[in-house]
Structure 1
Amino acid sequence: MRMRVAAAAPAALALTLAAPVRAHPSWPDGFVARLEAQALLQGLNADLLGHDSATATLQRFCDLHGGRPGLKIAARRMPGPDKPAGEAERRELQVGPQAQLRYRRVALACGEATLSQADNWYRPDRLTPEMNRLLDDTDTPFGVAAAPLAYRRRTLASNVLARPLPEGWERQPPQANAGPWTPPAQILEHRAVLITPDGIPLSLVVETYSAALLALPEAVGKVP
């Protein structure tokens, strides 16, 4: 049995965002199903780490798994007080205690499914007046508003919060990891700085990604 698992694992772990998303509140029973969940999480995390825009990555995911064609990622402003930037945030943005920073908290959604939430501290002095207007007055995602600046993303931390298979699973018999798995509400967390081509930090984002990414067709509605 171990030889069968070893043969199946590379194929399953090679799945990326093109893998089908199962519309279940808990993942189906079975070792192979858990392996698929593990591969999907790894693929999503790698895609987020490999691209400069989280919004664009989620749009690709929505296009593949959204259930209805033409859905666009929407940024929904989340109510609540501003969260002042601390010393760590100002250090990562390379600004002193008196420099002006703006704060934005948004949820990115595909249809009715909230895929991520993000805290964003950014430097308005590095944006054009039109970019600042879009961020102040509309729900435009930051990555869309600032796209003309051709920024790049530098990840500071990446944490996988969901574990379909425990550490050392490859050394255990499949039956040990064959039960149903219910993902936690948050499955990934990233902390990153967006940097302009001349090397100046533009924005600091702390993003948490939702388990809705594992049940997207059910959340947004299937094609009739």
Structure 2
Amino acid sequence: MRRRAPLGAAIMVAGLLPACPVQAASPAWPDTPANRARLMMSVQELEITLLTHPSATLALEDWCAVHHMAEHPVVVAQKADLPQPDPVPARVRADLGVSATQPVRHRQVRLACGPYVLSVADNWYVPGLLTPQMNATLEGTDTSFGHVVAPLDFTRERLEFTRLWSPWPGPAAGQAMAMIVAPAEIVRQRAVLRDGQGHAFSEVVETYTDQTLAFPSRDQGSPDP
């Protein structure tokens, strides 16, 4: 599989992914114990939201709605302009239970809600297990994968779930406090999606960004501005 730049670079370098019309700046907060505690609670809340939804799309739309991050909390998939398809990793074929010759497509997207890029995801899926209309929609539109395959009544089998950053511990004793700036990558999960008959039709690797913590100031539960 092609080596990719770190997420922070991937979502900023022109040509890898289409630009957001009004992309939000990376959030930063005064480094206080109260803000670190609030951020820790927000990261834990994000993890619970992801773990209690079979669809990452629906999880992020709920997240956007709860935190008032967009007037219309609808997630769209901004597709990468990949010059040529990557070979399907052997691990993915094994997880999906497909042969070395069975077609598997790769879709790389960033999931955005309003100006916020909330997740960058790689998605390998078996087109033969989707309807022709689903395949056409995935190829030709920015509709998120979760919305497209919702009629399959799918479930999510999580293979990995990793917290990549925590606001604790805080600064070392005696160190001056300045600003809390989260890295671009907050949480990552890898999962297989199965249809209503239990057939594995997709594997996803989703990396959730610091933009998930960029709450508007009117959100009283957010860190201090």
TM-score by length of 1: 0.78
Q: Verify: 1:44 aligned to 2:43, yes or no.
A: no
- Residue 195 (structure 2) aligns with: 196
TM-fit CA distance, 1:194: 0.4
Structure having the higher Rg: 1
Give yes or no for contact 2:28–2:180 (8 Å, CA) kept in 1: yes
TM-fit CA distance, 1:200: 1.1
- Residue 130 (structure 2) aligns with: 127
SS in structure 1 of the partner of residue 103 of structure 2: coil
Give yes or no for contact 1:73–1:108 (8 Å, CA) kept in 2: yes
Give yes or no for contact 1:62–1:71 (8 Å, CA) kept in 2: yes
Q: Distance in 2 between matches of 1:195 and 1:110?
A: 25
Aligned length: 192
Q: Which runs of 5+ in 1 are unaligned?
A: 1-22, 219-224
Q: After TM superposition, list the pairs within 5 Å mapping 1:181-192 onto structure 2.
A: 181-192=180-191
Q: Distance in 2 between matches of 1:138 and 1:177?
A: 49
TM-fit CA distance, 1:50: 1.6
Q: Distance in 2 between matches of 1:210 and 1:192?
A: 18
TM-fit CA distance, 1:186: 1.1
TM-fit CA distance, 1:74: 1.0
Give yes or no for contact 1:31–1:178 (8 Å, CA) kept in 2: no
Q: Which has the higher helix share?
A: 1
Q: After TM superposition, list the pairs within 5 Å mapping 1:146-161 onto structure 2.
A: 146-161=149-164
Amino acid paired to 1:119: D
Report which stretch shifted further, 81-90 or 127-136. 81-90
Q: After TM superposition, list the pairs within 5 Å mapping 1:3-152 onto structure 2.
A: 25-80=27-82, 81-152=84-155
Q: Distance in 1 between matches of 2:213 and 2:38?
A: 11
| Inter-CA distance 60–158: structure 2 relative to 1 (3 Å threshold) | same
Q: Distance in 2 between matches of 1:138 and 1:24?
A: 27
Q: Which runs of 5+ in 2 are unaligned?
A: 1-24, 218-225
Q: Distance in 2 between matches of 1:116 and 1:198?
A: 28
- Residue 12 (structure 1) aligns with: none
Q: Distance in 2 between matches of 1:57 and 1:68?
A: 15
Moved over 3 A (4+): 173-180
The sequence identity of aligned pairs, in percent, is 38
